């Protein structure tokens, strides 16, 4: 064997060793999670068994057991029965060996069921050594991200391929071995060398060695500190819980996670592969199923309840199609979420996002058409673009699809025209369709006309599950309580908006005057044309459709007044009472009365509150949606306000929406406060001092205000006016 063959084998050995190392590093990281999880899960199981009465054993044995003597002995729960064991049970008068064995066996079956279903909840407000160890172990895998998963998959393929080949090629590794080997063995060795060379060259072309090397580094790198791991957990709790469910084998009920689809549809969806090459984040199981549903069924409605990640499911489907070679996609959405869509696509995938909105939208459309990627536009702007030829568009995504429920509306006709020229269409809406059969039929008529005619009013009247089964080929909806087994969680969304013309005028005036506080609330100066207020009403509308309570926070009393007027008026969501404003001028007793009335109101309701007045001391567990109208100067204010809703007693996840305007004071504040907020989270948030004293972490508001005003005056070319100290609402 010559030098070339020896080098080929050596390269194959190095690649095989790297693959083995990645597999080992990943296996150890997973085992670290399992080891940290075991005592926490065990305690959760014991607590659950403690809460199950011994009388439930009758259900397991269909009433055949007589448990009176056992209960009289003081054994009240299934856990106590298991702890007692058959020997102690036999000491109870009236309990023989057969009965004792039956009791223990029944208790064991209940315990097995509890072990499979009990969910571990990580309490960020009460960290202790065991949960800290679990969060730290999970942090390694979360930080490694989807690339580590791809590396492990590639390592498994390489190990299986190269292992046998290298064993065959070993004969060719030395001159003496080749001389002593028979002819057939020499030929097999040379063929193996050729295959090793081919496999390694293909791996190098695909960047596999670099992928394996980076994965090993990432899997061996722990969190910089326990505090840093906890901060990251709060920021990305969904990814942590997703990994935890995957490793532990736990998770939601499969039927619920699959939207109670009939077996034939669910089986087809499960068989759909999902390429994650262009995706930057991991998916929960139900989210992966949703993306597969969109790909398999091709023209569908994704109707998941708000907070379940419809956007990332759509991005996952687009990323898969991009990996298959599709180049052009279009997202149509309300103007209020256009910026969010653009940012989410860029943050969560490798796809190029192009906003097709504003005065330059035709030039942007031409650029998108020539370069490809994801065009993001509004319902109004879509009508100004030429309908694509068949096959040109990989997928059309329509967010808030209930906007096109009226077939006579211009936007409905435009979306219909685009849909007719696109093989794959994904409608998204958080509005439940079970009781809106006429609206649902209108949407389905755009997607699958033949199915629309088969949907009758009686399908909705039969109940949610029956309705979903009837419309399974086109509709998938999951509820939070069915699929988020670790409830309650806290989910943050930054809602980026472009200022309207009147917003921009008010903002420029505030900048020229050097008025920092006026700059912060300029987006609400003209409520009738406020982009932020429009988005706020949309969020409240979505909450109303799902029967959820909402708390709206602002630093400014005039902003709260504008919010209340908008929600009370014709622009408001309708249905559901609006309470407040709860401001500093309201006596403490009355504040608590307002909160109590808000909590007692049936169904959907809104409480508007000044953030300083309501951020400390009041509990608002009734709310599961929190809206913050503008970024706050101190991170403590936002943390404490959110904590009013997300705390002990909250039974649903809490969704936090922070309304932000692009390109001005909001963006500068978010950037400047980011590091201070993380520092605060890491060292102060969990202390009693931070809870009771909002000023415990001073971010120097006056200096920040002056700097922001000066930078904005320079950007807008306004006169330089000294920025006054931060004023009052």
Q: Residues 414-432: pLDDT tens digits? A: 999 999 999 999 999 987 7
Q: Measured between alpha carbons, how far is 178 from 617 in angstroms, rounded to an integer?
A: 82
CB-facing half-sphere around the CA of 435: CA atoms within 13 A: 4
Per-residue confidence (pLDDT) for residue 275, from 0 to 100: 93
Q: Tell me the backbone φ, ψ of residue 136, rounded to 5 degrees.
A: -65, -40
Tokens of 623: 């709310």
Q: Measured between alpha carbons, how far is 629 from 276 in angstroms, rounded to an integer?
A: 35
| Cα-based distances in Å from 404 to 93, 416, 427, 447, 574 | 72, 9, 10, 12, 20
Residue with tokens 């054993």: 57
Paired with 554 in beta bridges are: 610
**Residue 9, SS3 per DSSP:** helix
Residue with tokens 């709860």: 582
Q: Residues 452-501: pLDDT tens digits? A: 887 766 655 555 566 777 788 999 998 877 787 665 567 888 899 999 99
Which of 15, 205, 4, 37 lies closest to 118, judged by CA? Answer: 37
CB-facing half-sphere around the CA of 487: CA atoms within 13 A: 18
How many Å from the N-terminal Cα to the C-terminal Cα in the chain?
83
Per-residue confidence (pLDDT) for residue 683, from 0 to 100: 36
**Residue 398, SS3 per DSSP:** strand
CB-facing half-sphere around the CA of 338: CA atoms within 13 A: 26
Asked whether 378 and 333 are in contact (CB, 8 A), the reply is yes
Burial class (CB within 10 angstroms; exposed 0-12, middle 13-18, buried 19+) of 44? middle
Residue with tokens 């034939």: 264
Which of 432, 422, 314, 283 lies closest to 376, judged by CA? Answer: 314
Which of 345, 279, 316, 294 lies closest to 147, judged by CA? Answer: 279
CB-facing half-sphere around the CA of 664: CA atoms within 13 A: 27
Which of 202, 217, 219 lies closest to 15, judged by CA? Answer: 202
**What 3 state SS string does 200-224 have?**
HHHHHHCCHHHHHHHHHHHHHCCCC
Q: Measured between alpha carbons, how far is 519 from 509 in angstroms, rounded to an integer?
A: 8
Q: Measured between alpha carbons, how far is 356 from 341 in angstroms, rounded to an integer?
A: 12
Task: List, in order, residues 6 or more apart from 212 with CB less than 8 Å away.
Answer: 15, 18, 19, 21, 22, 151, 154, 155
In what helix (H) or strand (E) does residue 356 lie, and over which residues does it extend?
strand 353-356
Tokens of 207: 């960047």
Q: Residues 231-279: pLDDT tens digits? A: 888 777 778 888 888 888 766 678 888 988 999 999 999 999 999 989 9
Per-residue confidence (pLDDT) for residue 571, from 0 to 100: 44
Per-residue confidence (pLDDT) for residue 64, from 0 to 100: 66
Q: In what order do the strands lie in the sheet with 490-497?
A: 490-497, 654-661, 625-628, 550-554, 605-610, 577-582
Which domains are assigned to the chain? 1-250 (no CATH), 252-483 (3.40.50.10810), 490-716 (3.40.50.300)
Q: Average pLDDT of the chain?
A: 84
Per-residue confidence (pLDDT) for residue 699, from 0 to 100: 40
Q: Measured between alpha carbons, how far is 484 from 478 in angstroms, rounded to an integer?
A: 10
Asked whether 117 and 52 are in contact (CB, 8 A), the reply is no
Tokens of 298: 């091709």
- Cα 56 versus chain centre, distance: 37
Per-residue confidence (pLDDT) for residue 457, from 0 to 100: 62
**Residue 92, SS3 per DSSP:** coil
Tokens of 720: 């330089």
Q: Residues 571-591: pLDDT tens digits? A: 444 467 999 898 888 876 787
Residue with tokens 């006596």: 587
Per-residue confidence (pLDDT) for residue 686, from 0 to 100: 35
Q: Which residue ranges in the chain fall short of pLDDT 70?
A: 1-2, 60-64, 125, 171-183, 250-252, 434-435, 456-466, 485-489, 570-575, 588, 614-621, 636, 640, 643-652, 675-701, 719-729
**Cis ω on the peptide bond leading into residue 490 (within 30° of 0)?**
no
Tokens of 685: 């948030």
Which of 443, 354, 357 lies closest to 400, judged by CA? Answer: 443
Task: List, in order, residues 6 or more apart from 106 with CB less than 8 Å away.
Answer: 57, 60, 61, 65
Burial class (CB within 10 angstroms; exposed 0-12, middle 13-18, buried 19+) of 202? exposed
Per-residue confidence (pLDDT) for residue 715, from 0 to 100: 87
Q: Measured between alpha carbons, how far is 459 from 455 in angstroms, rounded to an integer?
A: 7
The string of DSSP letters for 446-501 reads HH-HHHHTT--HHHHHT-HHHHHHHTTTTEE---HHHH-TT---EEEEEEEEPPPH
CB atoms within 10 A of CB 51: 11
């Amino acid at each position: 064997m010559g030098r070339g063959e020896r080098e080929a084998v050596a390269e194959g050995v190095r690649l095989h060793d790297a693959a083995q190392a990645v597999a080992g590093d990943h296996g150890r990281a997973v085992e670290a999670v399992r080891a940290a999880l075991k005592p926490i899960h065990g305690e959760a199981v014991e607590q659950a068994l403690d809460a199950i009465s011994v009388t439930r054993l009758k259900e397991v044995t269909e009433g055949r057991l007589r448990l009176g003597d056992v209960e009289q002995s003081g054994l009240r729960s299934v856990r106590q029965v298991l702890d007692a064991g058959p020997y102690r049970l036999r000491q109870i008068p009236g309990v023989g060996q057969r009965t004792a064995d039956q009791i223990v066996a029944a208790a064991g079956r209940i315990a097995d069921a509890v072990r499979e279903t009990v969910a571990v909840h990580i309490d960020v407000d009460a960290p202790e050594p065991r949960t800290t160890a679990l969060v730290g172990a999970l942090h390694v895998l979360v930080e490694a991200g989807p690339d580590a998963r791809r590396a492990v998959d590639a390592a498994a393929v390489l190990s299986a391929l190269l292992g046998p080949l290298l064993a065959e090629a070993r004969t060719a590794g030395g001159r003496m071995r080749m001389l002593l080997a028979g002819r057939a063995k020499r030929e097999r060795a040379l063929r193996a060398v050729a295959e090793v060379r081919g496999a390694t060259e293909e791996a190098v072309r695909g960047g596999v060695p670099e992928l394996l090397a980076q994965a090993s580094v990432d899997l061996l790198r722990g969190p910089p500190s326990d505090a840093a791991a906890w901060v990251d957990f709060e920021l990305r709790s969904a990814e942590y819980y997703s990994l935890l469910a995957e490793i532990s084998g736990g998770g939601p009920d499969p039927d619920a996670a699959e939207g109670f689809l009939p077996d034939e549809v669910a089986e087809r969806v499960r068989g759909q592969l999902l390429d994650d090459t262009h995706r930057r984040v991991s998916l929960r199981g139900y989210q992966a199923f949703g993306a597969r549903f969109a790909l398999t069924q091709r023209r569908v409605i994704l109707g998941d309840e708000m907070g379940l990640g419809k956007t990332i499911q759509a991005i996952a489907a687009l990323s898969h199609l991009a990996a298959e070679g599709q180049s052009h996609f279009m997202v149509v959405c309300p103007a209020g979420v256009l910026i969010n869509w653009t940012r989410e696509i860029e943050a969560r995938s490798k796809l190029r996002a192009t906003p097709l909105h504003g005065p330059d939208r035709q030039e942007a459309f031409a650029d998108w058409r020539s370069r490809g990627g994801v065009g993001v536009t509004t319902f109004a702007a879509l009508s100004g673009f030429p309908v694509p030829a068949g096959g040109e568009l990989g997928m059309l995504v329509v967010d808030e699809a209930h906007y096109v429920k009226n077939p006579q509306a211009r936007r409905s006709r435009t979306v219909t025209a685009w849909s007719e020229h696109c093989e794959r269409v994904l409608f998204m809406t958080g509005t439940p369709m079970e009781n809106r059969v006429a609206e649902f039929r209108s949407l389905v008529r755009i997607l699958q006309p033949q199915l629309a005619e088969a949907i009758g009013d009686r399908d909705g009247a039969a109940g949610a599950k029956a309705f979903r089964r009837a419309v399974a080929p086109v509709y998938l909806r999951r509820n939070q309580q069915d699929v988020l087994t670790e409830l309650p969680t806290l989910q943050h969304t930054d809602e980026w908006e472009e200022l309207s013309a009147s917003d921009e005028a008010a903002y420029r005036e505030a900048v020229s005057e050097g008025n920092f506080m006026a700059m912060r609330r300029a987006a609400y100066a003209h409520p009738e044309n406020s982009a932020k207020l429009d988005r706020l009403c949309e969020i409240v509308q979505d909450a109303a459709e799902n029967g959820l309570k909402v708390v709206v926070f602002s630093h400014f009393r005039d902003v709260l007044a504008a919010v209340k007027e908008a929600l009370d008026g014709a622009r408001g969501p309708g249905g559901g009472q609006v309470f407040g404003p709860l401001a500093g001028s309201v006596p403490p007793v009355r504040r608590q009365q307002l909160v109590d009335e808000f909590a007692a109101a049936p169904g959907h309701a809104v409480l508007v509150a000044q953030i300083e007045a309501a951020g400390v001391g009041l509990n608002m567990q009734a709310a599961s949606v929190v809206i913050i109208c503008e970024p706050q100067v101190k991170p403590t204010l936002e943390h404490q306000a959110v904590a009013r809703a997300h705390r002990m007693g909250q039974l649903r996840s809490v969704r936090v929406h922070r309304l932000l305007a692009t390109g001005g004071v909001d963006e500068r504040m978010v950037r400047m406060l980011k590091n201070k907020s993380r520092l605060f989270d890491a060292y102060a948030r969990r202390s009693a001092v931070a809870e009771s004293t909002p000023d415990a972490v001073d971010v120097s508001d006056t200096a920040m205000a002056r700097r922001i005003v000066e930078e904005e005056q320079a950007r807008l070319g306004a006169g330089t006016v000294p920025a006054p100290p931060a004023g009052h609402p």
